[in-house]
Structure 1
Amino acid sequence: LEFDAATSVLIDTQDSTKGQLTMAVAVAQPDGATAATTANATYHLILAAGGTAPTGSTLIALSATTADDDIEGMISAVDAMLTSLTDAAATLGATNTRISMQDEFMADLMDVIDKGVGRLVDADMNEESTRLKALQTQQQLGIQSLSIANSNSENILSLFR
């Protein structure tokens, strides 16, 4: 099971291109002067490690002078970031679920193995118990046969007296 943690970092203070909220997001932004869109609008939601937006991108921040086209571009950038965050969260959730399933499977497997070993031990104990009973029975039969043999010799001796 492999999981690339770099894809789920929210804010990377070392490298702004790796954080979900610090990486640049390029969006197609409307251009108010024409009907076309400007595809080179790049935004950042959170400042990079140095405290400024990386070169070539604009920090998503509203002010009284923010143009409507810029606001639409910022909204598109935030939507793209949310989509990226949702994908990262889904991947993380799926990985977590797989790990939980494997953990439960291993716990069940260990229980089954423990039960199997217990049954083998019980089977060995039953076999050994049967052997012990057989040996005890043989011992009792030997003692009885010696007792009978001794009593017969005493009977024969009593006849000679």
Structure 2
Amino acid sequence: MIANSVNTNVGAMIALQNLNATNTELTTTQGRINTGKKVASAKDNGAIWAIAQNQRATSQSLNAVKESLDRGKSTIDVAIAAGESVSDLLLQMKEKALAASDTTLDTAARSALNEDFKALRDQITKAVTNAEFNGANLIKTGATAQASLANADGSSKLTVAPEVLALAGGIVTVTATGTIGTATAATAMITTVGNSITNTSAALARLGTKAKAFEMHITFVGKLQDSLDAGVGNLVDADLAKESAKLQALQTKQQLGVQALSIANSSTQTLMSLFR
């Protein structure tokens, strides 16, 4: 290799290579500081980026799961609220039936009690009919089970069975025409309403258990989503303190590289002294 040549400046070549490498590192570090990520695109690290994207997809899918669970829980909550109203109405109906079973009542008093009873009876129908959320009603006649998403791929569901609290059903056995117009009818109604109260309490207990299950699963899904997001962050987020220190070093290195290149470029000027 010719040491003294004006055509080939090896020192300048090496200095330029080092400066270009420094500039490339500096660009990478500045990009990490700007985005806050060490893997912002597939070209940064294809394998890590692919893993992170898959986890992001799962995390975002869990948003739909939480929305589905929230709708399911709200449907149950509405059913429970209406069911508690039905239970309260049945308690009042039993009181009226017990009062009407007294054979010493006169006709006017019995008639008044019967009218109160029928008003309470009809109110049950109104409560059941209006216990609807987002088009779903768990306690009306013909109600069907409600299924909510339980995982990110939709392969698992959280289901709640209906608890029909309509009149003349398997739970509330009081018929839509039931009355306490006579002492005999009132006495029979005491047993009917009592059984309906027991059945309604059991139905509400089942709905309450399901509501608790929905709440627990919503909490779990939230924690799972947080863990996934944290995992993605561990994979792709940059350590900004480290990048800041590296930036200072690279900026200094860049300045020195420019100086080194300048020195290498001026070295050929010394050859002029040979021709003086």
Please report the TM-score for the alignment, with normalisation by the length of structure 1. Answer: 0.53
- Alignment RMSD, CA only? 3.7
Q: 8 Å contact 2:171–2:200 — kept in the other structure?
A: yes
Work out whether 1:120 is the aligned partner of 2:235. yes
Q: Could you say if the C-alpha distance between residues 64 and 84 of structure 1 is closer, same or farther in structure 2, counting changes exceeding 3 Å?
A: closer
Counterpart in the other structure of 1:100: 215
Provide the secondary structure at the position in 1 that maps to 2:165.
Answer: coil
- Point out where structure 1 has 5 or more consecutive residues left out of the alignment: 24-44, 53-58
Equivalent in 151, 163, 166 of residue 11 of structure 1: 166
Question: Which has more radius of gyration?
Answer: 1
Query: Which AA in structure 2 matches 1:84?
Result: N
SS at structure 2 position matched to 1:2: strand
What SS does the corresponding residue of 1:66 show, helix, strand or coil?
A: helix
CA deviation profile, 1:30-54 (whole Å, cap 9, x unmatched) = xxxxxxxxxxxxxxx222xxxx5xx
Deviation at 1:141, TM superposition (A): 5.4
Counterparts of residues 1-161 of structure 1 (less than 5 Å)? 1-5=158-162, 8-11=163-166, 16=168, 18-21=169-172, 23=173, 45-47=174-176, 59=178, 61-66=179-184, 71=187, 73-123=188-238, 142-161=257-276
Gaps of at least 5 residues in structure 2 are 1-157
CA offsets 1:44-101 (integer angstroms, 9 cap, x no match): x222xxxx5xxxxxx4x3234428xx72x53333222111101110111111111122
Higher relative contact order (CA 8 A, sep 6+): 2
TM-score (norm: length of structure 2): 0.34
**C-alpha distance in 1 between matches for 2:235 and 2:241:** 10
User: CA 1:119–1:147 in structure 2 vs 1: closer, same or farther (change >3 Å)?
Assistant: same
Give secondary structure in 1 for the equivalent of 2:166. Answer: coil
**Structure (1/2) with the larger strand percentage:** 1
Inter-CA distance 128–142: structure 2 relative to 1 (3 Å threshold): same
Contact 2:180 2:189 in 1 (8 A): no
Q: Percent identity?
A: 42
Q: How many pairs are equivalent?
A: 119
2:184 match: secondary structure = coil
Aligned residue type for 1:115: A
The answer to which structure has the higher helix fraction is: 2
Which string of whole-angstrom CA distances, capped at 9 and with x for unpartnered residues, describes residues 83-137 of structure 1? Answer: 1101110111111111122122212322332233234332388898899888777
- Runs of 4+ that moved beyond 4 A: 124-142
Aligned partner letter, 2:164: V
Distance 2:256 2:210 in 1: 69
